[in-house]
Structure formats: C-alpha cells, structure tokens
Amino acid sequence: MPIVDTRPKRGKKAEVENELKAKRSANYKTSQMLRYNQRSSVEPLNGRLKDEFNGRMVRVKGHRKVMSHLMFGIIALTVDQLMEFLE
C-alpha cells in the first residue's frame, strides 16, 4: 500500500494547517506518519543502490545469485558511505 503525502483541497488549507499544528503540539503520531518518515529516509539509499551500484541490471539467474549480487552492492554502498564520513 503506497503512502502518499496528502494535499488539502481548495478552501480547506487553513483547516489542515490548524490540525497539523494541533497534532504537533500534542506530539501525536500515527502509524502512517512513522512509516512515511521511514520510507522517505530509505528512498535515497534504494536510488543509489539502483543507479550507482548496479541494482537495476542484475544479469544472473536464481534467487541466491541475485541476492549475493545485491548484497555485494550494499557492501560497496556501505564502504562508500563510510569513506564519505571519514573525509
């Protein structure tokens, strides 16, 4: 089930803003809000894995080989991130 950020309809913007302010002041978080935040933090990682570390074009057959191919990409991505932190 996709989680999409909702947009207020015409004329309802003030009501939605007031509701969001009330939720923030009460520290109210729904499960959808928590999942949205988790997904939005993971999306750049998935994008980098697909674009820079060959996650989009897997040229092997079999679930074990595909899994090992993707895990090598994740290891390379982790090393790349660690190198960026050290710079």
What pLDDT does 75 receive?
A: 94
Residue 19's pLDDT is 83
In this prediction, residue 77 carries a pLDDT of: 92
**Tokens for 1?**
């089930």
The residues, ordered by sequence, that sit 6+ positions from 70 with a Cβ below 8 Å of its Cβ are 49, 55, 58
Residue 21 structure tokens: 């302010």
Digit-by-digit pLDDT tens for the chain (87 residues) are 566 666 777 778 888 888 888 888 888 887 777 877 777 778 888 888 888 888 888 889 999 999 999 999 999 999 999 999 998
Question: Radius of gyration of the chain from Cα atoms?
Answer: 20
Instruction: Write down the pLDDT at residue 28.
Output: 83
Confidence (pLDDT) at 1 = 57
Helices (H), the chain: 13-25, 31-52, 63-86
The sign of the CA dihedral 61, 64, 67, 72 is negative
CA atoms of 22 and 86, how far apart (whole Å): 41
Q: What's the confidence (pLDDT) of residue 29?
A: 81
| Token pair of 30 as six digits | 């729904």
